[in-house]
Amino acid sequence: MLRAVWPGFELEVAESPANPGLWGAQAFSSPALGGAVLQGVAEGCVAALEGLAENDWAVWGGVTVDHGRPYFTPYESFFPIGWERGERSAAEHPRGYYWANLLTAAHVQQLGGIDAVAEYCDAHGLAVTGYREGKAAVLRCPRGALDLGDEALGAVHRLLDPILLHEPYRWYADWPLRVFKEPGTAFRRIEPTFQAHLPAAFDDDEPVPDGDDW
C-alpha cells in the first residue's frame, strides 16, 4: 500500500483485499481547502483519469464532490452494492455517475458507441474526451465540480443508468449523498444541522434492519 497525506488531502493506492491483482486509488479532499483549491484538485484528478484512459491502464474511475469512505463509491453506499462486487464488475459496469467518469471501451460499446455517446453529450451539455478506438474515454461535466447541478448530474445518470449495477433500495442512514431517487427510495429534506450516525435521527425512523432484513 502507498499512502500519502498533505494538509486537506489524502491519497491511497493499494491492492484490493477482496480481489487480488486489482489495484485501486482513492483520494479525499477537505472542504477546508477552499473552492479554488478544490477545483484545482478535481481538475488534477481528471488529468490523471485522462492519462489512465489514454494508456488503457484502468477499468473505471470517477471524480465527485460528495461524502466518501474507503472502498465504496457513493452509489454503492446508497444502494446495497458491495464494493467487492463493484470492483469485480467495474470493467463492464461503472461504479456510479459523477462529475467526471472514466469509461472503458466496453462501457462505450454498451452505450451504443462513441458517436452515440458524443451525440448525447452535445445535446446535454456534457463532454467526452480522450477516446481512441478500443481505448477508454473520460465523460465529464464542463462546469466546475463545485458548480455541479442536478440537471447536469441527471444527464450523466440517464446516460450511464443502462449499464450500472442495480439493486433495490433497502435502507440508508448516513451522510446525504448525490444519488438520485429511484423506485422504492424514500427521500426527505435534510436540514443543514443534521448529524449522521445518530440512532433515530428522525421521529418516524424505522428500526435499523438486522441480519437478513437488510
Over residues 168-214, the pLDDT tens digits come to 887 777 888 888 876 655 555 555 555 555 554 555 555 555 655 54
Query: Can you read off the three cell numbers belonging to residue 179?
Result: 444519488
Burial of 166 (0-12, 13-18, 19+ CB in 10 A): exposed
| Calpha distance 60→71 (Å, rounded) | 13
DSSP bridge partners of 137: 103
Query: Which cell numbers hold the place of 61?
Result: 474511475
**Packing angle between helix 114-124 and helix 150-160, nearest 10 degrees?**
160
pLDDT of residue 199: 52
- Are 132 and 54 in contact by the 8 Å Cβ rule? The answer is yes
Query: Residue 28 carries which DSSP code?
Result: E
Q: State pTM to two decimals.
A: 0.83
Say which residues have a Cβ less than 8 Å from residue 80's Cβ, sequence separation at least 6. 167, 168, 170, 214
φ, ψ for residue 59 (rounded to 5)?
A: -100, -10
Enumerate residues 6+ apart whose C-beta is below 8 A from 56: 135, 136
Residue 107: the pLDDT is 96
pLDDT at 118 > cutoff 80:
yes
* Average pLDDT in the chain: 85
Residue 128: count other Cβ atoms within 10 Å of its Cβ.
19
User: Considering the chain, what percentage of its residues have pLDDT values greater than 90?
Assistant: 50
Cα gap 61→25, rounded to integer Å: 9
Contacts of 123 (CB under 8 A, 6+ apart): none
